[in-house]
């Protein structure tokens, strides 16, 4: 056999290193990972969450809604579960019962549970959320309560199934980009197509990163891909159950990679929209773009994540500035329909002497996977400034919004000063406030810093 030169040996070694970096076959498998899923498409035609302009309940199903769970276990005893669902959000009134039952039935502490919603606007209204937005009669409220109870049970059972299915695995970190998210505060939607056609730069901050967490078996075969993107899931505004672009991305990945479980987590996309939008074709295009970005990341050499896991959770009180009686009377007379309903309800509460809270209990969560991969998990509709700030602050970080509670929009200090819809939208969510306290960003980021130190 002819001898290979040192140069050729070096090239072969480099190629093999790249292959094993992508496939993970040569790595030990000290992680244990379990995966489970459940269909959560409503069986009844309920009201859909997300758009105040809707005038009646859903009419049917474009594709099913899903709740998926991935359970992680490290040899040091660290455990955590990721729950990703095709929902507008997990309101506190639903998230808290799920977490209480998971503690009782699965022994999971609050810091070990992530509940992330894709924020599709083609999912159902849940208990205690958006009740001022829609003309809900007693029958519809009963349907919402029935569905919410069923969702809680489904979430708990799916997590339990994932924990029961724990098997050796390796974890890998990677990323790619997708550019369909546009800053909706700084660009008029009607102008964007022409600006794109003419090559005119759009304005405002965006975050086009697509972070990817890959789960492989010890032989290197893909088991799951957990990926995020910072953009409203609002391509469609019709009356059919659907996961929007994130739903199509998951379906596409699972079709392209048989046996794969694809999970989407929503990032800090509160001020980002998929533009242009409003057609099924456009929604499918964005789904393919996002799925393509994930596949691109999976095909590159990825960073192995050692089997160590630390989790932390804290409730931060965020200040609420209550509305004045004059502000409520103005909205009750001249606001949009949902604002009128909200303002009249609060005026009635004020007249009855109801005490409004001065703060809101805001959930902040931080996980450390391996040595240095951070996962910052924030509640509410978080604007993109938070992910951009935290990515500068920490070298390896994923930032999720819409997690563990969705109570209102969460502005950065910049957006708080500028005002407008993304500064709160309290009339949509029902909180008795006109504004967050000015220190909102300082409080949230300060809590993230504390938790990062805690999980070191």
Q: What are the structural domain ranges in the chain? A: 25-311+363-407
pLDDT at 398 over 60: yes
Give pLDDT, residue 21.
42
Give pLDDT, residue 12.
31
Give pLDDT, residue 19.
39
Q: If you average pLDDT over residues 70-84, what whole number do you get?
A: 97
Q: If you average pLDDT over residues 174-203, what whole number do you get?
A: 97
Q: If you average pLDDT over residues 319-332, what whole number do you get?
A: 97
Give pLDDT, residue 2.
38
Give pLDDT, residue 204.
97
- Give the chain as a 3 state SS string: CCCCCHHHHHHHHHHHHHHHHHHCCCCCCCEEEEEEEEECCCCCCCCEECCCCCCCCCCEECCCCEEEEEEEECCCCCEEEEEEECCCCCCHHHHHHHHHHHHHHHCCCHHHEEEEECCECCEECCCCCCCCCCCCCHHHHHHHHHHHHHHHHHHHHHHHHHHHCCEEEEEEEEEEECCCEEECCCCCHHHHHHHHHHCCCCCCCCCCEEEEEEEECCCCCEEEEEEEECCCECCCCCCEECCHHHHHHHHHHHHHCCCCEEEEEECCCCCEEECCCCCHHHHHHHHHHHHHHHHHHHHCCCEEECCCEEEEEEEEEEEEECCCHHHHHHHHHHCCHHHHHHHHHHHHHHHCCCCCCCEEEEEEEEEEECCCEEEEEECCEECCHHHHHHHHHCCCEEEECCECCCCCEECCHHHHHHCCHHHCCHHHHCCCCCEECCCHHHHHHHHHHHHHHHCC
Give the confidence band of 28 by pLDDT, cuts at 50, 70, 90. low
Q: If you average pLDDT over residues 260-273, what whole number do you get?
A: 98
């Amino acid at each position: 056999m002819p001898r290979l030169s040192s140069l050729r040996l070096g090239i072969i070694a480099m190629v093999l290193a790249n292959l094993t970096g992508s496939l993970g076959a040569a790595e030990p498998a000290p992680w244990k990972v379990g995966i489970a899923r459940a269909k959560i498409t409503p069986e009844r035609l309920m009201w859909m969450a997300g758009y105040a302009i809707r005038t009646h309940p859903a009419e049917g199903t474009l594709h099913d809604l899903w709740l998926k769970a991935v359970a992680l276990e490290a040899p040091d005893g660290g455990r955590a579960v990721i729950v990703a669902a095709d929902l507008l959000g997990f309101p506190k009134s639903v998230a808290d019962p799920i977490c209480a039952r998971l503690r009782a039935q699965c022994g999971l502490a609050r810091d070990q549970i992530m509940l992330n919603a894709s924020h599709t606007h083609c999912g159902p209204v849940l208990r205690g959320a958006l009740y001022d937005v829609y003309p809900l009669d007693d029958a519809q409220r009963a349907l919402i309560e029935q569905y919410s109870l069923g969702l809680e049970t489904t979430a708990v059972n799916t997590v339990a199934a994932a924990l029961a299915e724990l098997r050796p695995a390796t974890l890998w970190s990677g990323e790619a980009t997708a550019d369909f998210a546009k800053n909706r505060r700084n660009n008029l939607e009607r102008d964007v197509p022409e600006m794109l056609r003419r090559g005119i730069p759009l304005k405002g901050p965006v975050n086009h990163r697509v972070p990817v967490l890959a789960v492989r078996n010890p032989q290197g075969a893909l088991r799951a891909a957990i990926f995020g993107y910072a953009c409203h899931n609002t391509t469609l505004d019709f009356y059919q159950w659907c996961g929007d672009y994130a739903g199509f991305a998951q379906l596409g990945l699972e079709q392209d990679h048989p046996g794969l479980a694809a999970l989407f987590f929503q990032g800090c996309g509160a001020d980002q929209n998929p533009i242009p939008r409003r057609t099924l074709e456009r929604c499918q295009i964005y789904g393919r773009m996002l799925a393509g970005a994930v596949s691109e990341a999976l095909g590159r050499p990825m960073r192995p994540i050692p089997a160590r896991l630390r989790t932390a959770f804290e409730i931060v009180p965020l200040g609420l500035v209550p509305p004045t009686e004059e502000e409520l009377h103005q909205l009750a007379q001249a606001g949009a329909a949902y604002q009128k309903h909200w303002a009249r309800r609060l005026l009635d509460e004020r007249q009855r002497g109801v005490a409004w809270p001065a703060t809101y209990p805001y959930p902040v969560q931080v996980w450390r996977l391996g040595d240095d991969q951070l996962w910052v998990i924030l509640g509410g509709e978080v604007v993109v400034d938070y992910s951009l700030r935290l990515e500068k602050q920490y070298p390896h970080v994923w930032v999720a919004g819409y997690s563990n509670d969705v109570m209102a929009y969460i502005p950065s200090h910049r957006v708080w000063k500028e005002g407008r819809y993304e500064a709160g939208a309290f009339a949509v969510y029902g909180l008795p406030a006109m504004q967050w306290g000015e220190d909102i960003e300082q409080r949230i980021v300060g809590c993230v810093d504390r938790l990062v130190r805690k999980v070191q």
